[in-house]
Every structure is written in C-alpha cells, then in structure tokens.
C-alpha cells in the first residue's frame, strides 16, 4: 500500500544508494515534469510583451532543449517498458505514482506548443505546424486516456487511505485543459468553416471536462490540509500544482476568445470574449491567493529541512500557466497591470526552472535520482 509518505521514494526523489550507470528501472513518469517545466519557459516567454532578438533567441534555445529532453525521455521510457515491464505496471498500480502519467501528455503538448510559437523560425513554419499538430493530437489522446484511466484505477485497483488526498491527483485531470489552451493556436491553420469551429468547440469541451473534474478534487485537497496538517516535506512543492488548472483554464478561455472572431457567428464571439474576462480575472485572483498560501507552506518546509526532490519541478509548469493566463488577460483587457503580473511571474518561473534543472543535473550525474527507492519507515 502506498500513501503520501511513500511518494517521495517511489518517484525518484531521493535515496542513499546511487543507481547502476545507465539503469532506467526506476525512471518514473514523473520525469516528464522536467520537460513540461522547461518547455513552458519558451511558451510563456513568447506570450510576454518583450521584443527584440535577444529574448526570442533565448526562447528558441530553451525550446530546443525541451525538445531534446522529450526525445531522450521518450526513448528512455520506451526502454523502461520493454526491459522493466514489471516496474512499469507497478507504477500504474501505485496511487502515489500513477497520476504522474498525466505529465506524459502535458510534456507532448508543451513541446508542441513551443514548436509552433518559437520553433518555427528554427525549423521552418511548415515543419513547426506539422510537429505541433502531431504532438497536440497525440498529447490530447494520451491526456484523455489518463484523465479517464487514472481515476478508474483509483476507484477499482488502488488502496487509498482516508485523508491522503494530494495535489498530485490533479495531474491527469489538468492534461485536457492544456490541450484546450494550446489547441486554439492550430485553429487558423484549418480550412475555414466547420473544421475551425469543430476544433474551437472541441477545445471548449476539453476545458469543461478538466474544469469540472478539478472542482471535484480541489475540495478534497483543501480538506486534507485543514484536517491532517501540512504535506510531508518532499511533497510540499506539489501544492503549486493547484496553480496549473487555474492558470491554464484562464489561458484556455483567453486563447479561445482571441481566435473566435471570424470562426463563430458574429453574435457569439463577443460573448466568448466577455466570458474570458469574467472567468479569467476572478480565477487569476484565486491563483494569486493560492500562490501566497503555497509559498508560505514551502518556506515553512524549508525551515523544517526540506531538501531537493523531483517534486521541485512542481514549482515550474504551474507558474508558467499563470504567466500565460495573465498575458492572455492583458491581451483581452488592454490593462498593463496584467502585463506586469505576467512579467513578475515569469521571473519566478525562470528562477524555479534554473534551480530545479541544476539540481536535477547534479542528481543525475551522481546517480542518486535514478536509484532504487529507500525503505520507508512508518
């Protein structure tokens, strides 16, 4: 049986014995969070009001790095399933690890979105469009499968202790929201008429399924915190995962409203724009409230001795979704305050990614992050 206390050891967050060189037996799906967190730096940067060759070149470098990371991780995970199928199946049956399969979809989507946003000047517009179309389609299918399969396993196969609700449970549920946020970029490239409208309304459906599922889980997470106290130290960064559906849903509605004119009826497009503002502004306000709460809990955990774990990547992608959400609101409202908020959040994002990337690289070099999990003392 796995509880929240087991999650750090089962997802490669620390051990005392280095792994054999080249071993991928304990390479879990949580590693896709590193790809997501890196890719969002490029995607979110492209949404900022910065101009000039310098920032754009930096976004392209980060996008290229995230694409290489995705290719390497897909290959390593393929080897993991072929050579260590027993461990892979054990991951699916572990309630502390299975939700991370949502990261697979989001990594595909994030790299695809970055390819169209900043990679087209590197590989050419046709290749970038083709890559994004393939990655968006594949990521959406994987995300829908995870959003359905992981809750099914939680109900039928996992044994979950009372009071063990975790923000990690949001990962498979937020994957369709990422599709909803990045799908609108493909709408202008489809033939005008039914094809464009179909994708637009499909993204709204993805937005709805993810939002409603998130609204069911968030009260469980808050109830767990109130009734059972802070999360274990290594899991404290996962509190930032709550920002993911908040920032990504705001990004989704603003992106959808941006492409709606000319795609839907003239009477419907203004309503979509109004919905984007009336939904996005309150949700962004709640996101800032949760950011303050999560930051306070992280500071408390640092004081109690929290060390590095792969869960630190939880600081990255959710912050990036808030950057794109704030940038989308700036575009919809014309308010410079949202641009300022997006820039401030982006500075936090870059800092978080730099720290997590550096610590992960050091952990890989020393062989600790892919080591067998330590026995957990109750």
From CA 297, how far away is CA 2, in angstroms rounded? Answer: 23
The four Cα atoms 73, 79, 83, 89 give a dihedral, to 10 degrees, of: 50
User: 3-7, 172-176, 250-254, 269-273: lowest mean pLDDT where?
Assistant: 3-7
Domain edges within the chain: 20-366
pLDDT tens digits for range 222-279: 999 999 999 999 999 999 999 999 999 999 999 999 999 999 999 999 999 999 999 9
pLDDT of residue 16: 47
Instruction: Report which of 117, 137, 139, 119 is spatially closest to residue 127, judged by C-alpha positions.
Output: 119
DSSP conformation class of 51: -
Inter-CA distances, 40 with 34, 259, 317, 377, Å: 10, 21, 6, 36
Cβ-based neighbour number of residue 340 at 10 Å? 13
Most confident of 6-10, 157-161, 288-292: 288-292
pLDDT above 80: residue 52: no
Confirm whether pTM is higher than 0.85.
yes
Cβ-based neighbour number of residue 194 at 10 Å? 9
pLDDT above 60: residue 108: yes
pLDDT above 50: residue 12: no
From CA 167, how far away is CA 273, in angstroms rounded? Answer: 30
More confident: 84 or 269: 269
Which tokens sit at 161?
A: 């202790």
From CA 229, how far away is CA 231, in angstroms rounded? Answer: 7
pLDDT tens digits for range 32-49: 999 999 999 999 999 998
Q: DSSP 3-state assignment of 261?
A: strand
Confidence of residue 375 (pLDDT cuts 50, 70, 90): very low
Confidence of residue 80 (pLDDT cuts 50, 70, 90): confident
- Percent of the chain whose predicted confidence (pLDDT) is above 70: 93
pLDDT above 60: residue 322: yes
CATH architecture of 20-366: Alpha/alpha barrel (1.50)
pLDDT of residue 20: 57
| CA atoms 218, 220, 226, 230: torsion sign | negative
pLDDT of residue 22: 55
From CA 318, how far away is CA 322, in angstroms rounded? Answer: 7
pLDDT tens digits for range 281-311: 999 999 999 999 999 999 999 999 999 999 9
From CA 86, how far away is CA 93, in angstroms rounded? Answer: 11
Mean pLDDT of the chain: 91
Instruction: Report which of 212, 309, 201 is spatially closest to residue 259, judged by C-alpha positions.
Output: 201
């Amino acid at each position: 049986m796995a509880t929240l206390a087991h999650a750090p050891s089962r997802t490669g967050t620390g051990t005392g014995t280095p792994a054999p060189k080249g071993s991928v037996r304990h390479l879990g799906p949580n590693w896709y969070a590193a790809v997501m967190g890196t890719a969002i730096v490029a995607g979110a940067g492209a949404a900022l009001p910065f101009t000039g060759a310098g920032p754009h070149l930096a976004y392209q470098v980060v996008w290229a790095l995230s694409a290489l990371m995705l290719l390497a991780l897909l290959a390593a995970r393929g080897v993991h399933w072929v050579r260590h199928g027993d461990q892979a199946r054990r991951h699916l049956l572990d309630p502390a690890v299975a939700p991370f399969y949502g990261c697979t979809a989001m990594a595909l989507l994030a790299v695809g979105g970055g390819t169209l946003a900043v990679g087209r000047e590197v590989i050419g517009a046709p290749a970038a469009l083709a890559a994004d179309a393939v990655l968006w389609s594949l990521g959406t299918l994987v995300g829908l499968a995870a959003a359905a399969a992981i809750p099914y396993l939680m109900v039928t196969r996992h044994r979950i202790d009372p009071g063990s609700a975790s923000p990690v449970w949001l990962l498979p549920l937020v994957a369709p929201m990422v599709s909803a946020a990045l799908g609108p970029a493909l709408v202008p490239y489809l033939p005008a008429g039914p094809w464009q409208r179909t994708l637009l309304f499909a993204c709204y459906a993805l937005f709805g399924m993810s939002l409603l599922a998130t609204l069911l889980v968030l009260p469980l997470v808050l109830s767990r915190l109130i009734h059972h106290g802070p999360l274990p130290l290594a899991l404290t960064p996962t509190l930032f995962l709550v920002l993911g559906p908040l920032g990504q849903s705001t990004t989704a509605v603003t992106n959808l409203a941006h492409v709606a004119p000319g795609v839907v009826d003239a009477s419907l497009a203004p309503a979509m724009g109004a919905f984007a503002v009336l939904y996005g502004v309150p949700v962004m306000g709640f996101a800032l409230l949760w950011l303050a709460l999560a930051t306070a809990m992280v500071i408390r955990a640092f004081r109690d001795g929290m060390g590095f774990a792969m869960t630190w990547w939880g600081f990255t992608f959710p912050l990036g979704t808030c950057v794109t959400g704030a940038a989308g609101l700036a575009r919809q409202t014309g308010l410079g305050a949202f641009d300022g908020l997006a820039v401030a959040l982006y500075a936090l994002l870059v800092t978080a990614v730099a720290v997590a990337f550096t610590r992960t690289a050091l952990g890989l070099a020393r062989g600790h992050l892919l080591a067998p999990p330590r026995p957990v003392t109750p």
